[in-house]
């Protein structure tokens, strides 16, 4: 806006077409398709969704729904454990994969697989591994201890833990890759100088690696928070929200209400997450748009 | 030949101590899927780590659609292909035009549009799913491939525009100026200067959008429901409807479904890593 309009205030504006140069007209034409998509599939749905969630009664109903409270707690646990464990392992492994070894190069090619393949088949594969009767894990437990293994997905806290595990399995490679890029950008001279001075492994990390990577690490953590909040597949495909709807998170809860035809509740549950999401979004936008 | 010192052996051992668990952790679910795909039903359900009689029979059943759950396999595969390619092409078209307009033509309000797009990118897609489902219903697009294509374009294009804008900001302005001096029109500038120079980023973004659409489950199962309209991931999810699901066939289908994106990822890894990770997190 600022480019064309600044300084135009004093003189009476000529008609729009005369003020725009040909490239600018083309600019608007080329931008139009995205704007149309944005209006039709972002502005309208969001506005419509907020309108559906306008009744205070929906929020009262949510408040009294034990499943919502449970889902909110689950979401917090999922975020707190899932993100921190994942990011710490990623930070650790980024150092491992930064090593110059041929076998580590090959391992890194395989390591990216969970990220490169779609989540549905792999999550379902884990789901069957955890099957109490036929799954390979319990069969191995039976073979070695002659006792029945636990009914993994039937205990809500174990099931949620497994969903967090699946989430970590899926997204760990991506964050390791990102953190590794950050690590490789650190000048090697620093480490050599530290080596000469006889710095230990932990000192090198504390005084060289961490100071150069902390901004990246925090940005990654925040971004991962937003994405983890929207992780529908890990929970839905592994536990389906069960047993007895005790492992829902906010991302799956909206869909649950939708399936029960409680549309206003579905929207209200999403609106409840917004005070948490929007500050993160605002922060990330400030980070990424110069 | 120089023998490794004790210290070198120690370092190598420590690295292996990390590497082996990482390898096992990464490969177990994938190996399990592969194991099911080559196992006859009895072997698959017996918890063996390698089947007594490895077979490709499951693949033959899938390819010949010889099971109730698989009777529309090929048409569902085709749906996935069409939707992924259309979403990729459309995203590429829309995002390239927008990035060119914002970055090179400096269209009024471009920065503002960029911010709106980024905002959309950061809203978790699962949160947008419910209103999107209702909206597609209002537009009368439910059960129509266009609904999923357009939803995927909506989700893919913000990031696409952002990455492309970052990349095109790096191209020198002098290029545009020189071309304009030589009498190039805006469209010629776009076609003959901009697009060729942006090729690596365009490949990365096209791949990104195709993979996103191919892998999508949530929107696909919300927006499409007829057996002949759904994509492969929805068909995989439908296997769970029965208590006695043929898991060996489910895993076989899943394995087939997972191959193309893995192949595409490795084929375009060069572009993906350069174009996407650099853009994904800028510190």
Indicate whether B49 belongs to any domain. Answer: yes
The structure tokens 């990424």 sit at A288
Q: Any idea what the Cα angle at residue B253 is, between residues B249 and B259, rounded to 5°?
A: 145
B172 and B52: one domain?
Answer: no
Domain range spanning residue B35?
6-63
Are residues B83 and B159 located together in one domain of the fold?
Answer: yes
- Concatenating the DSSP letter of every residue in B207-242 gives HHHHHHHHH--HHHHHH--STTT--HHHHHHHGGGS
ipTM of the complex: 0.87
By Cβ distance, the residue of B47, B130, B254 closest to A120 is B254
Q: For B178-225, what is each residue's pLDDT tens digit?
A: 888 888 888 888 888 889 988 888 988 998 899 999 999 999 989 998
Indicate the DSSP class of residue A148: P
Average pLDDT, integer, range A9-25: 63
B15 within a domain of the structure (yes/no): yes
Mutate to test the interface with B, among A34, A162, A273 (most CBs of B within 10 A): A34
Q: Please, which pLDDT band fits residue B282 given cuts at 50, 70 and 90?
A: very low
For residue B15, the chain A residues in CB contact (below 8 A) are: 96, 99, 101, 104
Question: What's the length of chain B?
Answer: 283
Same domain, B261 and B139: yes
Task: Name which of B130, B250, B281 is nearest A216 (Cβ-Cβ).
Answer: B281
Cβ of residue B214 closer than 8 Å to a chain A Cβ: yes
For residues B202 and B233, state if they share a domain: yes
- Within a domain: residue B100? yes
Banded pLDDT at A132 (limits 50, 70, 90):
confident
pLDDT reported for residue A166: 94
Angle in degrees, 0-180, between the axes of helices B125-138 and A250-259, rounded to the nearest 10: 20
- Inspect the interface and report whether the beta carbons of A110 and B266 lie closer than 8 Å: no
Q: Which of A4-8, B1-5, B145-149 has the lowest mean pLDDT?
A: A4-8
Query: Do residue A34 and residue B119 have CB atoms under 8 angstroms apart?
Result: no
Angle ∠(A206,A212,A218) on CA atoms, nearest 5: 95
Residues in A touching B222 (Cβ below 8 Å): 255, 258
For the beta carbon of residue A268, count every other beta carbon within 10 angstroms.
26
Instruction: Give the pLDDT score at B281.
Output: 47
Within B103-246, where are the H helices?
110-122, 125-138, 145-169, 173-181, 186-188, 195-197, 199-215, 218-223, 232-238
Check whether residue B82 and residue B166 sit in a common domain.
yes
Helix axis angle, A66-97 to A210-229, nearest 10°: 150
Chain B partners of A182 at a C-beta cutoff of 8 Å? 283
The closest of A75, A95, A90 to A247, measured between CA atoms, is A75
Q: Are residues B202 and B171 in the same domain?
A: yes
Name the domain count of chain B: 2
User: Which of these three, B19, B44, B63, is where a domain ends?
Assistant: B63
Q: What is the pLDDT of residue B274?
A: 56
Q: Do B108 and A285 touch (CB under 8 A)?
A: no
Last residue of a domain, one of B63, B84, B111: B63
Question: Count of A–B CB contacts within 8 Å?
Answer: 280
Taken in order of first residue, the domains within chain A and their CATH numbers are 1-52 (no CATH), 65-288 (1.10.3720.10)
Facing B15 at nearest CB: one of A99, A122, A266: A99
- Mean pLDDT over all residues of chain A? 85
* The CA-based dihedral angle spanning residues B197, B201, B206, B208, taken in that order and rounded to the nearest 10 degrees: 180
Give the pLDDT band (50/70/90) at residue A15: low
Together in a domain, B193 and B268: yes
Q: Are residues B51 and B78 in the same domain?
A: no
Q: Is residue B1 part of a domain?
A: no
| Domain finish residue from B46, B63, B80 | B63
In chain A, what residues touch B100 (CB-CB under 8 Å)?
Answer: 30
Mean pLDDT of A14-35: 78
B179 plus B225 within the same structural domain: yes
What would the DSSP string read from start to end of B249-276?
HHHHHHHHHHHHHHHHHHHTHHHHIIII
Radius of gyration of chain B (CA): 24
Residues B172 and B237 in one domain: yes
CATH code (residue B149): 1.10.3720.10
Q: Let me know whether B34 and B111 are in one domain.
A: no
Are B99 and B163 within one domain? yes
A37 vs B115, B154, B253: nearest CB: B154
């Amino acid at each position: 806006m600022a480019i064309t309009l600044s300084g135009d205030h004093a003189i009476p504006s000529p008609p729009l077409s005369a003020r725009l140069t040909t490239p600018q007209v083309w600019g608007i034409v080329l931008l139009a398709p995205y704007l149309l998509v944005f209006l039709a599939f972002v502005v309208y749905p969001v506005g419509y969704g907020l309108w559906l969630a306008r009744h205070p009664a929906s929020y009262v109903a949510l408040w009294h729904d034990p499943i919502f409270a449970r889902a909110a707690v689950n979401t917090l646990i999922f975020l707190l454990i899932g993100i921190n464990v994942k990011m710490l392992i990623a930070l650790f492994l980024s150092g491992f994969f930064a090593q110059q070894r041929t076998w580590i190069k090959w391992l890194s090619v395989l390591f990216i697989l969970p990220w490169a393949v779609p989540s549905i088949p792999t999550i379902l594969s884990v789901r069957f591994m955890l099957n109490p009767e036929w799954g390979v894990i319990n069969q191995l437990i039976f073979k070695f201890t002659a006792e029945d293994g636990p009914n993994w997905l039937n205990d809500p806290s174990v099931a949620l833990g497994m969903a967090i595990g699946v989430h970590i399995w899926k997204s760990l490679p991506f964050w390791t890759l990102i953190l590794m890029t950050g690590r490789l950008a650190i000048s090697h001279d620093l480490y050599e100088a530290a080596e000469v001075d006889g710095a230990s492994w932990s000192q090198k990390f504390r005084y060289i690696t961490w100071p150069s990577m902390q901004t990246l690490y925090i940005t990654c953590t925040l971004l991962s928070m937003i994405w983890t909040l929207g992780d529908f597949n890990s929970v839905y495909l592994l536990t389906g929200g069960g047993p007895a709807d005790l492992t829902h998170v906010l991302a799956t809860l909206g869909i649950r209400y939708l399936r029960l035809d409680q549309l206003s509740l579905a929207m209200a549950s999403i609106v409840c997450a917004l005070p948490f999401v929007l500050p993160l979004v605002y922060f990330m936008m400030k980070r990424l748009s110069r | 030949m120089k023998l490794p010192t004790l210290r070198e052996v120690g370092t190598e051992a420590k690295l292996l101590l990390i590497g082996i668990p990482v390898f096992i952790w990464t490969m177990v679910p994938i190996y399990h899927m592969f194991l099911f795909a080559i196992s006859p039903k009895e072997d698959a359900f017996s918890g063996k780590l390698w089947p007594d009689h490895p077979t490709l029979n499951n693949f033959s059943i899938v390819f010949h659609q010889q099971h109730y759950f698989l009777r529309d396999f090929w048409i569902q595969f085709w749906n996935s292909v069409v939707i992924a390619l259309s979403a990729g092409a459309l995203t590429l078209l829309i995002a390239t035009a927008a990035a060119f307009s914002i970055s090179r033509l400096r269209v009024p309000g471009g920065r503002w549009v960029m911010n709106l797009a980024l905002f959309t990118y950061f809203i978790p897609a699962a949160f947008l799913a419910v209103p999107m489902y209702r909206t597609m219903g209002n537009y009368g697009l439910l059960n129509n491939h266009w609904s999923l294509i357009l939803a995927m374009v909506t989700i893919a294009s913000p990031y696409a525009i952002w990455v492309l804008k970052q990349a095109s900001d790096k191209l020198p302005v002098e290029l545009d100026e020189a071309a304009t001096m030589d009498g190039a029109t805006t469209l010629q500038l776009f076609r003959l200067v901009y697009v060729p120079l942006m090729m690596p980023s365009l490949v990365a973004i096209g791949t990104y959008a195709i993979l996103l659409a191919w892998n999508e489950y949530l929107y696909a199962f919300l927006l499409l429901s007829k057996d002949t309209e759904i994509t492969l991931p929805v068909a995989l999810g439908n296997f769970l409807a029965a208590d006695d699901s043929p898991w060996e066939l489910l895993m076989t289908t899943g394995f087939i479904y997972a191959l193309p994106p893995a192949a595409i990822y490795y084929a375009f890894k060069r572009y993906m890593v350069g174009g996407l990770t650099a853009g994904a997190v800028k510190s």
